[in-house]
Every structure is written in C-alpha cells, then in structure tokens.
C-alpha cells in the first residue's frame, strides 16, 4: 500500500507540472496523398518523442522551434522530413514500404523508422491483415506472420474457446501483448487440455476487434528488460484507430464447402469530434459462427464392440455421435479510443474496450452401451428411444480493458507519460445435455444442466514513463510500473461436483474456490548512444519485485550499423523472465474417486503447489522462468519500394514452468514405494502439478522480402515473401529427488512433444496483391511445415505429418470510392492435415479423430467461402 501511495503522489506532481509547459512556435498544416487528405499520419519532431497525428481532415498542429525538423510517416508511405521555416507546412506523401514508418515499440526515447531500428519489428496495417479474408485477428496473424501460430482447438473443453497463440513456438505465456503500448491482461483460463500451450495462459486475442485496429506492431526480439514479464519471445502491440478519414461499415458472411461453419460478421467504425481538437474513435462489432464437424468414421472392431447391439448402433452412427471441429461462437465488441490536447504540447488519452462472447463446444459422445444407467432413468429420452448423449461445454466470456493517461511535455526536452490501466477477463461455464451419474445412483434422478463455476483474472497497472533526448548522440528513457493482480476460482453449484461430478466436466468445489492476489513493482531504464549517424549502441535494464516469489533483474545490450543510407546490420543480447501466473500457482481441479482398499474416497487431479501432498513430493513454490536471447540480422532497402531482411535468433529458457504428467501408483502392486506412501498419507491417489522443471532451447530464422507498388500500367502489384524456420529442444527436465529416486517421469514424452513438435517447424508465406482502378485480386499461399504426433507407445510409433500449403484468393470490386464488394475463397484446394494413424495410440486416432487434436498446422476447416460488403462515408 505504501508503494501505491508513493506512486499516486508522484503521478499527481507530474500532472500538476503540466501548467509549466514551455510555449513554442505553433506550426500547422495538412497531410495528403494523391487521393486526398490523410488522417492518422504521425508527425514527430525529429530526435524526440514529441508529436501528434493528423485529424479526420488530415490536419495537424504542433508547437516547435524554428529550425527543428518534422518527420511525417504512415505505414505504406515514404517518410518525409521538413525543416520548420514557417507557420504552415503542407505535405504530400508518396507510396513506399513499411520500413519508412516510424515506430515507438522497442524504443521509448527516440522514435526511429523500421529501417533504423536495432531490433526487427513488423508494422502491419489493418488493410493487410484483413486482405486474406480470415475472420479473427489471431487467424489473420497466423496467415500473415510466419513466426505467429494459432489454430482452433477441436473438442478441447474450455481451451476450444480461446485458441492458444504464440510467437516462435515458445508457448502463449512468453509473448507480451500491448494495446496502444499498455499491457493487456491475460485470460482467466489455463489451457489444461493436450493442445499446444498446455499448462499455460495467454492473452484472449478474440477480445480485440479488428475494426478497432489501425496497425499491429510486432517486435521479434526478447524485450523483458524494457517491458517486463512475458516478453521472452517478443511483443505484439495493437495500435488502435485514432482519427479515421471515413466512417466505415462492413458486413461479411461465409461457410465451408461441407455446408457447416456458417459465419456472419458486421462492424462499424467512426470518429467523432471531442472538445477543442479532441477525437473519439468508436468501434462496434458483432460476430457469429456455427460449429463444424470433422469427426472420423468409427470401426466397430477398432472400437472393441463385441455385442450385437453395439455393432448395430455403430453401423447406424458411423461417426459415433461425435462433433469434432470449431465451436459455436457469438460475440459483441465495443471499443472507444479518446484523445484531447491539454495545453499546447500535452495530450489526455483513454481507450476502453468491452467484449462479451458465448461459445459452445462438444465433449465425447456417450454411446448408449456406455450409459445404461442413464437410459434406465429416462432423464434425456424414454429408455426405448435412448441413443446416448453428447454433453456440451458452454462458456460465457467477458473481457474489458480501460486505460487513461496523460502525455506531457515537461520542458527542456523532457517528456512524461502517466497512466492507469484496468483489465479483466472472466469465464463462467455451463454443462448441458449431461448427468451426474453418482447423484443418479444415490437419488434415482439427476439434473441435465449444470453450472460448474468459472474463473476471473484482473489487474490494475500504474505506469509512469519519462524520456529525454539530451543531445543528438544521447537519449534515455526510464520509469516505473506498479501492478496488482487478482485471480478468482468461483465455486460451482453443489450438484455439479457431487461425487465425481457432472458428466464431462466436474464443478469447482468449495475447497478449490478462492481469491488470490499479488503485486509487483518494476523500475526500468534505457540509454541509447548514436555514436555516429550510422552506429548506434544501447543498453536497457529492468528490476521487478513480486510479492509472491521474489525479484528479477533483466538487461539488454544492442547495436545497429547502417550500410549506407539503405541498409543496416543489427544484433542484440538480452536476458528475460516470465513470472508464474496466479492461475498456475493456485489452480486446483480435482475429483474424489473410490479406490479398492480405501474406506474413504481419494483425491486425484491438479493440485496447487501449496497442497501438502505436492509439497511432500519435493515440489517447490513456483518462481520466475529466465531466458537468454541472442539475435542478429540485416535489412536492406534496394529501392524505395523493395527491401529484404534476415534475422537469426536463439532463445534459451531455464526453469520453464511445466504442467506435469500424472503422478500416481507404479506398476508394482506388491509393494508401496515412498511416493505412493506420500500420496496415501495425504489422501491422494494421483496428482498433477505445475513445476519449474524444464530447460529448453529455441533456434530459428526469420526472412522477409517485400516489393510493393510495382507499376503495371495503371495498376499496382505488391509482392511479399516471408518465412520462419525454428526448432525447439528440451535440454533438461529437473525432477524432484523423491520422484527421481523412485523412477517417476514427471514429464512424459507425449507432453514433451507438445513443446517440441506441435507447432510447424517452418512456415513460408507468399502473397501477391494486384490493385487496379476498380478491382483488386489477392493470391496468398501459406506453407505450414512438418509437425509430429508424439506417441505414448514409443518413438517408433510417432507420426510425422507432412507440410501442407493453403491457398487463398481474394477478389474485390469498387463500385465507387466508397462502396466495395469482396469475395474470398480460403484453402481453395481443400487441403487437410495428414490423417492420424491408429498406430500412434493417441486420442481415438483413426476413429473418432480423423485428424490429430494434439498438434496443429492449418486447421480442419477445408475450403470455405465468404463475401463481404464495405461502405465508407
């Protein structure tokens, strides 16, 4: 509390100091291209972080000194520099490449273009993201950024509603996501199913509507020394629209060639005036999708059916009633981005987003010969009509983020930014078309709908940032961040956890429910030396102190050498860290089962690290993962519209937090080993837990080739080739002594495979965009590299799934400058992953699951069509 009071006092003093802002000459003007005024153009005083953006009419005003240089930049246009010599400066920008845009990500003190940056950064405009016809931001990034991966998880309970996403195959927890430079809260859900990212927590990207986004900046380098926990693989910054040249309305719909997966989306974005020179950008969005089903055909022999009625039922129900694919989903979005000048050189800002979505995924089908007790009770259908049942797993997810702050010119080349951000993600569950079989056995009846509880995660973050350009050679930034986090596990209704609980998902028990919190204070500083115009050297460091596990210090050194005026070579070395999440520290998800020889039910499931049984096994409380990141690369601009870049990286993560395999009885029934005795003493039959136990190494290569605005008569052609190649190995699994001495494998090979083999080891994207006067054509090919299904039966039963290419085509026609129609065919050649072999011994392979539910490439949708209408006014 003392820290928080000190922080609030400091914020007040800084804000109060705004009244001392030093006045300067007022310069104004209009920025345009050949088609008219350009809103949202960045206008910055060269060598500083002071600047503004053009408004709805392309106009700007800024306080500057005579002789200073204004830098005008916008994604897809050549940057222009103008020396201030009068009160009015009008600028016309020419088409260029993304390298010419100025970004602040990765450097708080001195804005630099992408070409000048000492680390690799992508700056992707919203038109590029939406051009491929993908429906959500995570799927857009998957088909645009080679090192980014996310796919819908088929029949994966709660995980099906979140789509774990990551950079460079390092898992969802190791990518930091920002909105307008402010940390986005993580989701309330831990991914516990056997999918990529198992045992981790990511940011709920579905809660950020694409219509609200101006561009996405992706820093592909370790950045914990600058931004704190989670930035081991890199940083994704969602830049919201501020001033839009037009109001826009769009509507889009589509479905797959199998006739399922129907989706409908509509959104609206506009900018409103606010006070004297302020603006409010408003986004409203709605999205609805229906489920798909790619279940396999069940072989009665493989199923083990021996009785006539079993064989007959499977013959009449070849898919065994299964629904395997994307879930039903419906969501609504509201985002507001507000800014208003304060004095002549400062700005108040606030952005606020709220998303509500519901979803329905499907559990395993309960065949009638598995559930005679339910048939006899006539809970779902009359006994003679009973055909089994498929429980549904339904989620209601709320996500909102609210941020407000003040950017300040403090005089003498000092600048400040004080802000407060609140974020929250919550999920509540409903299990339908289910029963509690224990309650049925004891009472002769059971509900068929259950409310098993849910989770919420929220945080409050205060930031205070300062920067200064002391001379043309030296610039610096420093600041502090104070964060309070809250995690809550919400108890389910009693019948959802009675006995073994509701069928498919047991409710959260009273002893598993609770509220937990922690706080941490971070202090950072960075210093850049522009030794010459060509040579830059820099250093950054960050210290963080967490109330629950201790502290960490991360640091980074970097350098950049220009190759003439068109190229750079760059390198960096950094250390990083990731704090364990509150979910991983306190989550308990268990059930009681009857064990022969025990007079009382025994506990099994996921137990928190402070559980006596887990502590007795020698598992310590979670602490921070640490990393070492080395990177080097080169970028060269051959022409104003043609450039290439190549970057190498190696990331070592020590003490990686793993979600263990099940620890229980060994195969020897004649004696009780010490581990079994520990479990018995604590009333536990089997347990899983989170533990700092893994050391991994990830090496990779990023390649980008962009050739934009190639003139073909009156038309333009844009060519983009991008690729990522990566490999992750596990160097060590550090097993507690008690478990190691008794031969326990705390992280079995099938779990290891989710880290090393579940994401493509390569991805290559070739995009061609042809833009004529009235129409445009886009052709996009994405090659997803090999993945491997890791068999629990041994290496000889593993299955390599070959590389696959998804081809998308987009055709748009502009009826007027304001109205356009776009048609898209995704995966035009109907490409699917290789079918899973039964010999792998994984999750109903070759029967209920035609394609693996455990590793991911291009998904399981097949070909799908969509058409959209866009109107600007």
Residues 524-534 pLDDT 10s: 999 999 999 89
Q: Is the pLDDT of residue 487 over 90?
A: yes
Q: Is the pLDDT of residue 4 over 60?
A: no
Q: Is the pLDDT of residue 851 over 70?
A: yes
Q: Is the pLDDT of residue 42 over 90?
A: no
Q: What is the mean predicted confidence (pLDDT) over 104-131?
A: 84
Q: Are 451 and 501 in contact (CB under 8 A)?
A: no
C-alpha of 747 from chain center: 25
Record: fold of 2-453+461-587+618-662+689-872: Maltoporin; Chain A (2.40.170)
Confidence bin at 594 (pLDDT 50/70/90): low
Q: Is the pLDDT of residue 596 over 90?
A: no
Rounded to the nearest 5°, which phi and psi values hold at 612? -55, -35
Which own/partner pairs from 33-38 qualify as long-range (CB within 8 Å, at least 24 positions apart)? 33/77, 33/92, 33/93, 33/94, 33/95, 34/92, 36/245, 37/245, 38/74, 38/93, 38/245
Q: Are 404 and 420 in contact (CB under 8 A)?
A: yes
Q: Is the pLDDT of residue 641 over 90?
A: no
Higher confidence at residue 146 or residue 19? 146
Two structure tokens written together for 791: 């068999």
Confidence bin at 380 (pLDDT 50/70/90): confident
Q: What is the mean predicted confidence (pLDDT) over 128-154?
A: 90
pLDDT at 76: 67
Within 13 Å and on the Cβ side, how many CA atoms surround 324? 24
Q: Is the pLDDT of residue 399 over 80?
A: yes
Q: What is the mean predicted confidence (pLDDT) over 743-772?
A: 94
Confidence bin at 66 (pLDDT 50/70/90): confident
Higher confidence at residue 844 or residue 747? 747
| Structural domain spans, the chain | 2-453+461-587+618-662+689-872
C-alpha of 229 from chain center: 15
Percent of the chain with pLDDT over 90: 63
Pairing of strands 234-240, 102-103: unpaired
Q: Is the pLDDT of residue 698 over 80?
A: yes
Two structure tokens written together for 245: 């040249």
C-alpha of 361 from chain center: 20
Q: Is the pLDDT of residue 724 over 90?
A: yes
The CA radius of gyration of the chain, in Å to the nearest whole number, is: 28
pLDDT averaged over every residue in the chain? 89
Percent of the chain with pLDDT over 70: 93
Give the model confidence (pLDDT) of 778-792 as tens digits.
999 999 999 999 998
pLDDT at 845: 63
Confidence bin at 411 (pLDDT 50/70/90): confident
Q: Is the pLDDT of residue 814 over 60?
A: yes
Maximum mean pLDDT: which of 108-122, 461-475, 834-848: 461-475
Give Cα separations from 639 to 94, 566, 615, 644, 770 (angstroms).
Answer: 14, 8, 62, 10, 19
Closest C-alpha to 833, from 811, 816, 858: 858
Separation between Cα atoms, residue 798 and residue 17, nearest integer Å: 65
Separation between Cα atoms, residue 365 and residue 847, nearest integer Å: 13
Higher confidence at residue 708 or residue 235? 235
SS3 content of the chain, % helix, strand, coil (to 5): 15, 50, 40
pLDDT at 602: 56
Separation between Cα atoms, residue 785 and residue 509, nearest integer Å: 43
pLDDT at 49: 66
Find the range with the poorest average confidence among 298-312, 480-494, 569-583, 725-739: 298-312
Q: Which residues contact 33 (CB under 8 A, 6 or more apart)?
A: 77, 92, 93, 94, 95
Separation between Cα atoms, residue 536 and residue 205, nearest integer Å: 35
Give the model confidence (pLDDT) of 323-365 as tens digits.
999 999 999 999 999 999 998 889 999 999 999 999 999 988 9
Full 3-state SS string of 375-413: HHHCCCCCHHHCCCECCEEEEEEEEEEEEEEEEEEEECC
Closest C-alpha to 552, from 516, 528, 520, 517: 520
Q: Is the pLDDT of residue 719 over 90?
A: yes
The three-class DSSP label of residue 840 is helix
Confidence bin at 9 (pLDDT 50/70/90): very low
Q: Which residues contact 259 (CB under 8 A, 6 or more apart)?
A: none
Give the model confidence (pLDDT) of 173-190 as tens digits.
999 999 999 999 999 999
Q: Are 581 and 459 in contact (CB under 8 A)?
A: no
pLDDT at 302: 67
pLDDT at 669: 76
pLDDT at 791: 92
Q: Is the pLDDT of residue 1 over 50?
A: no
Within 13 Å and on the Cβ side, how many CA atoms surround 178? 22
Find the range with the poorest average confidence among 35-39, 253-257, 550-554, 594-598: 594-598
Q: Are 836 and 789 in contact (CB under 8 A)?
A: yes
Maximum mean pLDDT: which of 258-267, 383-392, 838-847: 258-267
């Amino acid at each position: 509390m003392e820290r928080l009071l000190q922080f609030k006092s400091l914020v007040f003093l800084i804000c109060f100091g705004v009244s001392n802002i030093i006045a300067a000459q007022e310069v104004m003007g209009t920025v345009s291209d050949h088609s008219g005024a350009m809103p949202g153009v960045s206008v910055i005083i060269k060598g500083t972080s002071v600047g503004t953006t053009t408004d709805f009419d392309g106009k700007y005003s800024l306080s500057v000194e005579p002789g200073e240089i204004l830098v005008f930049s916008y994604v897809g246009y050549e940057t222009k520099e103008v020396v201030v010599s009068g009160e009015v400066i009008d600028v016309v920008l020419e088409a260029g490449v993304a390298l010419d845009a100025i970004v602040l990500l990765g450097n708080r003190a001195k804005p630099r273009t992408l070409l000048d940056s000492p680390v690799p950064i992508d700056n992707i405009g919203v038109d590029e993201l939406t051009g491929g016809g993908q429906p959500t931001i995570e799927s857009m990034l998957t088909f645009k950024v080679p090192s980014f991966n996310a796919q819908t998880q088929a029949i994966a309970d709660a995980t099906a509603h979140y789509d774990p996403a990551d950079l460079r195959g390092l898992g969802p927890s190791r990518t930091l996501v920002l909105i307008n430079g402010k940390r986005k809260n993580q989701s309330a859900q831990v991914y516990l199913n056997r999918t990529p990212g198992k045992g981790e927590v990511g940011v709920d990207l579905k809660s950020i509507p694409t219509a609200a986004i101006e561009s996405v900046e992706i820093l592909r380098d370790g950045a914990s020394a600058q931004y704190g926990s989670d930035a081991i693989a890199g940083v994704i910054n969602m830049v919201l629209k501020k001033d839009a040249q037009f109001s826009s309305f769009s509507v889009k719909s589509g479905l797959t060639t199998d006739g399922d997966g129907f989706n409908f989306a509509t959104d609206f974005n506009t900018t409103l005036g606010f006070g004297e020179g302020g603006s409010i950008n408003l986004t409203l969005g709605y999205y609805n999708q229906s489920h798909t089903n790619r279940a396999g055909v069940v072989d009665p022999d493989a199923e083990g059916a021996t009785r006539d009625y079993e064989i007959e039922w499977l013959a009449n129900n070849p898919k065994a009633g299964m629904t395997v694919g994307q879930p039903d989903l419906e969501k609504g979005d509201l985002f507001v981005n507000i800014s208003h000048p304060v004095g002549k050189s400062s700005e108040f800002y606030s952005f606020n987003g709220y998303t509500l979505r519901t979803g329905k995924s499907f559990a395993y089908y309960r065949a009638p010969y598995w559930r005679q007790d339910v048939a006899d009770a006539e809970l779902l259908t009359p006994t003679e009509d009973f055909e089994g049942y498929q429980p549904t797993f339904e989620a209601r997810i709320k996500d909102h983020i609210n941020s407000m702050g003040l950017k300040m010119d403090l005089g003498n080349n000092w600048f400040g930014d004080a802000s407060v951000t609140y974020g929250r993600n919550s999920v509540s569950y409903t299990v339908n078309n289910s029963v509690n079989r224990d309650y049925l056995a004891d009472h002769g009846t059971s509900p068929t709908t259950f409310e098993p509880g849910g989770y919420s995660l929220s945080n409050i973050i205060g930031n205070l940032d300062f920067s200064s350009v002391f001379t043309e050679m030296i610039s610096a930034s420093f600041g502090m961040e104070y964060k309070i986090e809250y995690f809550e596990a919400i108890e389910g209704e009693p019948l959802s956890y009675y006995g073994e609980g509701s069928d498919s998902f047991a409710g959260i028990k009273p002893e598993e429910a609770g509220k937990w919190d922690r706080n941490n204070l971070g202090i950072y500083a960075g210093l850049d030396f522009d030794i010459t115009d060509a040579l830059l050297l820099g250093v950054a460091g960050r210290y963080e102190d967490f109330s629950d596990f201790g502290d960490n210090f991360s640091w980074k050194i970097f350098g950049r050498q220009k190759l003439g005026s068109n190229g750079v070579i760059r390198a960096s070395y950094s250390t990083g860290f990731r704090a364990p999440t509150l979910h991983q520290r306190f989550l308990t998800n268990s059930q009681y089962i009857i064990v022969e020889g025990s007079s009382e039910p025994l506990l099994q499931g996921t137990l928190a690290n402070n559980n006596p049984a887990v502590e007795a096994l020698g598992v310590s409380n979670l602490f921070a993962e640490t990393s070492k990141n080395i990177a080097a690369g080169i970028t060269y601009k051959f022409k104003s519209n043609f450039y290439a870049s190549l970057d190498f990286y190696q990331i070592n993560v020590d003490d990686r937090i793993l979600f263990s395999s099940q620890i229980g009885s060994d195969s020897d029934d004649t004696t009780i080993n010490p581990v079994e005795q520990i479990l018995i003493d604590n009333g536990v039959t089997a347990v899983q837990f989170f533990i700092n136990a893994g050391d991994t190494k990830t090496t990779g290569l990023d390649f980008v080739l962009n050739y934009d605005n190639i003139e073909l008569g009156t038309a333009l052609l844009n060519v983009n080739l991008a690729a990522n190649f990566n490999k992750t190995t596990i160097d060590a699994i550090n097993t507690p002594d008690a478990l190691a001495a008794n031969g326990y494998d705390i992280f079995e090979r099938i779990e290891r495979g989710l880290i090393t083999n579940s994401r493509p080891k390569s991805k290559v994207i070739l995009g061609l965009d042809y833009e004529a006067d009235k129409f445009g054509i886009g052709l996009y090919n994405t090659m997803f590299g090999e993945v491997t299904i890791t068999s629990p039966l041994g290496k000889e039963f593993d299955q390599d799934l070959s590389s696959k290419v998804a081809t998308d085509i987009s055709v748009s026609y502009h009826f007027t400058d304001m109205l356009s129609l776009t048609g898209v065919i995704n995966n035009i050649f109907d490409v699917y992953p290789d079918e899973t072999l039964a010999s792998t011994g994984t999750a109903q392979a070759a029967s209920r699951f035609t394609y693996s539910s455990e590793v991911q490439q291009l998904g399981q949708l097949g070909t799908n069509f969509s058409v959209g209408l866009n109107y600007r006014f």
